[in-house]
Chains A and B, each alone.
Chain A
Amino acid sequence: MAAQRAKAPLRQFWRTLTSMRTALILLFLLAVAAVPGSILPQRPLNASKTQSYIDDHGAWGTFLDKIGMFDVFGSVWFSAIYLLLFVSLVGCLIPRIRVHARAMVRAPLKAPKNLDRLPESAAYETGHTPDQVAAEVKAALGPRWRKITREEGGAIAISAEKGYSRETGNLLFHVALLAALILIAVGKTWSYEGQRVVVQGADQGFCNTVSQYDNWRPGRLASEGKVSPAPFCVDSLDNFVATYGSNGAPTQFRADITYRKDVDAAQQKTSITVNHPMRLEGDRVYLIGHGFAPELTITMPDGTVRHDVQPFIPTDANTYYSEGAFKEQGKSGANQDVGVSGFFAPTPADDGNGVITSVAPQATNPVLGIMVYKGNLNYTGLPQSVYSLDTTKMTKLGAVNLHAGESKTFDGVTVRFDGWRPWVSLQVSHDPTQGYLLIAAVAMVIGLFGSLAVRRRRVWVRISPSRDGSTVVQVGGLARSDSGNFTTEFAALVERLNERSGRVRDQRFDGAPV
């Protein structure tokens, strides 16, 4: 008893959850919930912008952060809405699939008593016999209608139905949608994304392992080490081409690289452009950024000479004015480390106050502006950014702007600007389900076209002998759901029936000739 009483509200809940009205409200909620994800900065897209937004908005920012407004599509409430929608959809689909499967094998329904009460109806009289008319009706309907003939006392009734693919399409769409959602979730769990900066030239390449990435974003299973990355290596960036139109907008980016399919394979060459990633072993390698890497020759305080090349990060996306740093360790504990921080202006221009900026993204007699430091580079021993210096325990020796080939000596440290090389930022992406997801998406579209373009309709024909020896034919039609141009279709069908079965005259349903 108690168990039954407990079941009733549960069943009620299930019924409510799987009702169309609930699904509709959940769909609405899903649309509304996505809005803040486009208006507020999102941490997965732009972490630094998000942080500065939070800092600018004080308690309000912290509150928004607490309720997940800066990661809307990973938040509990967004997940809750789509999971409920998912369950609601499953609960709605299972009975509908059952009903449709039954309808597919069952014969069309018996003819209703009064065909004239249907939205479409017509009646006429003919001299052909009922059996002849029955054959003619079936011929007129053609093979596309599913039909069954039944005896009704003295009359013959033909039930015909068409447009089953509407519901088939509808169900296909929703099942494919469910499959797509599952595939997305599975793909996310097994996926990873790694980024790596590669400077043009030898000894700058990397292999596809976690430790060699500058930035690594794994899905859950990948972060647990359960996904082993494809074993390819990008050995070198051989050449990088960037071309620009006269308005300064880029017209082409191309990275020519040397790679191996796996560690023991032979080297191969290929090009990666913006819309054409390299596809290898289920991984894709994208060209997502580029910049300039100045080359320096640094004479250390103890007289040793270092050659170094360091990628600088563009801080202006239009002019490629870039910033970065060089770090040369001296003897440990001797306070003889040399640090160089600075900017690289590809097409330099003096703003009139002696401050150098860049006016174009191409390297045209570029200027490297540097500040040189001596001291202890990493007194904390913690990992540091390679693009900036911690100058807490360093002494500034001086600053200078250099063109390529120029050098400057500061207090026992000589820095020579040898030149520059391009670098590219490559992203390796892995998502094992995206191919299947495309199949699911295509199935969704096929289902959608079926469910919106096809209309389910039924036609019944009752053929009965009249008292004067002729035959009375009554036709009724009903379009389920959107009736579309069924009226025209029905009229055309009646016209065909008239021709085939030799109409003598129209008739009213009460049996009186018109």
Chain B
Amino acid sequence: MSGINGSMAHLSDSLFTTAIAVYALAAVGFVAEYAFGRRGRIAATVPAAVPARAMATVGGGSTDFELPPVTPTLPPAEKRSFAERIGKWSLVITVLGVAVHAASIVVRASAVDAVPWSNMYEFASVAGLVGVIAFVAVLWKLPALRHLGGFILLPVIVVMFLAGTVFYSNAEKLVPALQSYWLAIHVTLVSIAEGALMTSAVLTMLYLAKSRYDRRIAAGHSGGRFAVYAAKLPPAATLDKAAYRIVAFSFPLYTVAIICGAIWAEAAWGRYWGWDPKETWAFIVWVVYACYLHARATAGWKGRAAAWVNLAGFGAIIFNFVIVNVVISGLHSYAGLN
């Protein structure tokens, strides 16, 4: 471990493990809010009861994310607020987890004296952090989605667990090809874009579940085996819109990330594009998300079809991260697995 601060690297690992535990606690809280809270059922049933004037001046359409005003027909307030209190505390715990997680990354950075995202473990850690931050940022605008926290935190916990076990590599100094400020720019952008796209994919899955439930109900069937859970999801349109917004935010970032990668490749490998497996899959991911953006604007593709394209895009990201790093060898072989 030449030039590596061993005790710092160790501290970083401990903080990382702590962050997983804190997220897990928050996830349990969110799941409890989801299971025992009434938020979803209210959102699904109440709009019809809202006075017409409120709709005309403020609500206007189906796109309003705020909950409708509380009406006297709702159950007693203290029962509702218990689940809600758990949800609020879970959010606080999540933010605490973000702080611990971020500290783990900062400490690792000081241990290796470089941006700490040069191998799979480090990248997965950063992408997971961004995924959680993206969700917290979404809550800023759409607080009604808070009880979905568990759905976001569970995949993040899985990714971090895999990162800490299967993909783990010791803190090391950078090889010459990675000694460039483009490492900080290129990989940061990729991890922000992909972390956010993970959150988008989770919201898209929930959208598919909810819209399936809606269709079954509309066709006069029962809601299906998971109806109790589907009923509590926010309106399908809200989920779809949130998922889209995240892609609209991430896609330009991902584009910039690819361009920065090309600029770096020109300096490091002698060409800006060479169809290296990682480059090829970055291209595939980019094209699939471009398909998603176009599909949302094309008659016959809006809604569920576009949602599946979004999931295909995230599938390509997973392939690019796991299969291309572990199975296919190429110039981007920095996984740190041997």
A interface residue numbers (CB < 8 A to B): 20-21, 23-24, 27-28, 30-31, 34-35, 37-39, 42, 44-45, 72-73, 116, 119-122, 184, 193, 245-247, 249-253, 273-277, 284, 286, 288, 427, 429, 431, 434, 437-438, 441-442, 444-445, 448-449, 452-453, 481-487, 490-491, 494, 506, 514
User: Does A275 contact B57, Cβ atoms closer than 8 Å?
Assistant: no
Chain B nearest CB: distance from A481 CB in Å? Answer: 7
Q: Check B294–A193 contact: CB distance below 8 A.
A: no
Contact residues, B228-262 vs A (CB, 8 A): 244-245, 248-249, 251-252, 255-256, 259, 262
Could you tell me the distance in whole angstroms from the C-beta of A172 to the nearest C-beta in chain B?
13
- Picked from B60, B248, B281, B298, the residue with its CB within 8 Å of the CB of A20 is B298
Minimal beta-carbon separation of B186 from chain A (angstroms): 12
- Whole-angstrom CA separation of A31 from B272 in the bound complex: 20
Q: Does B79 belong to the interface (CB within 8 Å)?
A: no
CA gap between A34 and B285 in the complex, in Å: 11
A142 to chain B, nearest CB (A): 22
- What chain B residues lie within 8 Å of A44 (beta carbons)? 275
Query: Looking at the complex, which one of B57, B249, B280 makes contact with A38 (CB distance below 8 Å)?
Result: B280
Bound form: Cα–Cα A262–B141 in Å: 61
CB <8 Å contact, A444 and B255: yes
B322 in the interface (beta carbon within 8 A):
no
A494 to B57, alpha carbons, bound, how many Å?
Answer: 9
Decide if B70 is an interface residue (CB 8 Å cutoff): no
Contact A438 B277, beta carbon cutoff 8 Å? no
A31-B291, A275-B177 given; A249·B172 CB < 8 A: yes
Least CB distance, B272 to chain A, in whole angstroms: 6
A28 touches B177 (CB 8 A): no
B294 touches A27 (CB 8 A): yes
For B300, list chain A residues within 8 Å (CB): 21
A287 CB to nearest B CB, Å: 9
CA distance A240 to B281 in the complex (A): 35
Answer whether residue B85 sits at the interface, using C-beta atoms and an 8 A cutoff: no
The reply to whether B268 and A247 form a contact with Cβ atoms under 8 Å apart is no
A122: which B residues are within 8 A, CB to CB? 56-57
CA distance A45 to B279 in the complex (A): 13
Question: A-contacting residues of B (Cβ < 8 Å)?
Answer: 1-3, 53, 56-61, 63-64, 141, 172-177, 179-180, 182, 244-245, 248-249, 251-252, 255-256, 259, 262-264, 266-277, 280-281, 283-284, 287-288, 290-291, 293-295, 297-298, 300-301, 316, 324, 328
A445 / chain B contacts, CB cutoff of 8 Å = 252, 255-256, 259
A284:B2 contact, CB within 8 angstroms: no
Of B175, B263, B267, B287, the residue contacting A30 (CB under 8 A) is B287
- Do B60 and A514 touch (CB < 8 A)? no
20 A-B pairs with CB atoms under 8 Å apart are A20-B294, A21-B298, A27-B291, A27-B294, A31-B287, A37-B280, A38-B281, A120-B60, A121-B56, A122-B57, A193-B271, A245-B2, A245-B3, A273-B176, A274-B176, A277-B267, A286-B270, A288-B270, A429-B271, A434-B266
B174, B301, B324: the one within 8 Å of A24 (CB)? B301
Q: Which residue of A lies closest to B244 (CB)?
A: A482
Residue from B63, B175, B316 within 8 A of A250 (CB atoms): B175
Q: Is the CB of A20 within 8 A of B297?
A: yes
A288 partner residues in chain B, CB cutoff 8 A = 269-270
Task: Kindly list 16 other residue pairs between chains A and B, CB separation below 8 angstroms, not including A275-B179, A445-B255, A452-B251.
Answer: A28-B291, A31-B283, A35-B284, A37-B280, A45-B275, A45-B276, A121-B60, A247-B2, A249-B173, A251-B174, A252-B179, A274-B177, A275-B177, A276-B267, A449-B252, A452-B252
Q: In the complex, A286 Cα to B269 Cα: how many Å?
A: 8
Contact partner, B275, options A23, A37, A184, A284, Cβ 8 Å? A37
* CA distance in complex: A449, B252 (Å): 6
Which of A27, A72, A506: most chain B Cβ within 10 A?
A27
Give the nearest-CB partner of A428 in chain B.
B270
Chain B residues within an 8 Å CB radius of A274:
176-177, 179, 268
Task: Report B-chain residues with C-beta under 8 Å of the C-beta of A277.
Answer: 267, 270
Residues from chain A with Cβ under 8 Å of B251 in the complex: 448, 452
Q: Is the CB of B176 within 8 A of A275?
A: yes
Shortest C-beta distance, A180 to chain B (Å), equals: 10
Option from A38, A284, A483, A486 in Cβ contact (under 8 Å) with B328: A38
**A residues less than 8 Å from B287 (CB atoms):** 27-28, 30-31, 34
Report Cα–Cα, A197/B163, bound state, in Å. 41
- Please state if B275 and A42 are interface contacts (CB–CB under 8 Å): yes
- Given A20-B294, A506-B57, is A483 in contact with B275 using a C-beta cutoff of 8 Å? no
Bound complex: CA A490 to CA B60 (Å): 10
Asked if B175 contacts A249 (CB within 8 A), the reply is yes
Q: How far is the CA of A116 from the CA of B251 in the complex (A)?
A: 36
Partner of B288 from A31, A286, A437 at Cβ < 8 Å: A31
Q: With A31-B288, A275-B268 as given contacts, are A252 and B56 in contact (CB-CB < 8 Å)?
A: no
Which of A273, A275, A445, A482 has most chain B Cβ within 10 Å? Answer: A275
> In the complex, which residues of chain A have a beta carbon less than 8 angstroms from the beta carbon of B301?
21, 24
